[in-house]
Amino acid sequence: EAGVAQSPRYKIIEKRQSVAFWCNPISGHATLYWYQQILGQGPKLLIQFQNNGVVDDSQLPKDRFSAERLKGVDSTLKIQPAKLEDSAVYLCASSPTTRQGGYTFGSGTRLTVV
Amino acid sequence: GESVGLHLPTLSVQEGDNSIINCAYSNSASDYFIWYKQESGKGPQFIIDIRSNMDKRQGQRVTVLLNKTVKHLSLQIAATQPGDSAVYFCAEIPSGNTPLVFGKGTRLSVIA
């Protein structure tokens, strides 16, 4: 089965610019997650979708971050405007159900804000 | 703060030896735990999981032990190989349908 696809793999932007990341989950996986992984730390959840609805966005900095999952399949995560502290790897994961702990992760997008 | 953490940030082992990576969690209500392996430039990869009604679970060359009394989780890797070099994270589902919470990770280096 194909894995979770993410693009781009790398992105360098200046602070205050905007950036968008794309994720295509495993076909049929209802639940999609975006995690932020700062260098040297474990992934931290930003947002969780169940189909095209948001289940948990309590840790998403909503003043600058937004995410959507149109038609319950692909998802985009946007940052506008970016700050230096947003430099991190943004990981997308999917699972068949919310109780399925064995999430499948994509390779992530490494964002550098300068 | 995070409810899942690790005792050691780095671990070096000789090729062929067994590795033990430890993890402490603070949420006694957590009922599902997973170990992930993350290689450089890649996303976390599922290794093995265990539910709270179990004390031990074995996979291929890996064993996870769960001690609910002291809220401790460990990953044992038998006959460690150079390909095992990576960062290992334990993760938990605190309750219900909440998403995985990750700890900080332990970097395993295998010395050939």
Under-50 pLDDT residues of chain A: none
CA distance A95 to B1: 26
For residue B19, the one-letter residue type is: S
CA distance A16 to chain B (A): 26
Query: Within a 13 Å sphere around the CA of B44, how many CA atoms are in the beta-carbon half?
Result: 36
CA distance B91 to A11: 28
Looking at the predicted structure, is the pLDDT value of residue B6 above 50?
Answer: no
Which residues lie below 8 Å from residue B89, measured CB to CB, with a gap of 6+? A42, A43, B35, B36, B38, B44, B102, B103, B104, B105, B106
Beta strands A109-113 and A10-13 are parallel
Q: What is the pLDDT of residues B44-87, one digit of tens each?
A: 999 999 999 999 999 999 999 999 999 999 999 999 999 999 99
Looking at the predicted structure, is the pLDDT value of residue B1 above 80?
Answer: no
CA distance B108 to chain A (A): 13
Q: In the structure, what pLDDT confidence band is assigned to residue B95 with cuts at 50, 70 and 90?
A: confident
Q: Which residues pair with A113 in a beta bridge?
A: A13
For residue A56, the one-letter residue type is: D
pLDDT (0 to 100) of residue B2 = 41
- Asked whether B47 and B35 are in contact (CB, 8 A), the reply is yes
- Asked whether B15 and B83 are in contact (CB, 8 A), the reply is no
Which residues lie below 8 Å from residue B22, measured CB to CB, with a gap of 6+? B6, B7, B8, B72, B73, B74, B106
Between chains, do B43 and A106 touch, taking CB under 8 Å as contact? yes
Between chains, do B43 and A93 touch, taking CB under 8 Å as contact? yes
The answer to whether B59 contacts chain A (CB < 8 Å) is no
Which residues from B are below 8 Å from A42, CB to CB?
A: 2, 4, 89, 91, 102-105
- Rg (C-alpha) for chain A, rounded Å, is 13
pLDDT (0 to 100) of residue B25 = 87
CA distance B31 to B25: 11
For residue B68, the one-letter residue type is: K
pLDDT (0 to 100) of residue A70 = 83
Output the average pLDDT for chain B.
90
- Asked whether A34 and A47 are in contact (CB, 8 A), the reply is yes
Looking at the predicted structure, is the pLDDT value of residue B98 above 90?
Answer: no
pLDDT (0 to 100) of residue B103 = 84
Q: What is the dihedral of CA A89, B27, B20, B91, to 10 degrees?
A: -30
What are the backbone angles phi and psi of residue A113, rounded to the nearest 5°? -105, 125
Token pair for residue A29?
């996986």
Q: What is the pLDDT of residues A58-72, one digit of tens each?
A: 999 999 999 999 888
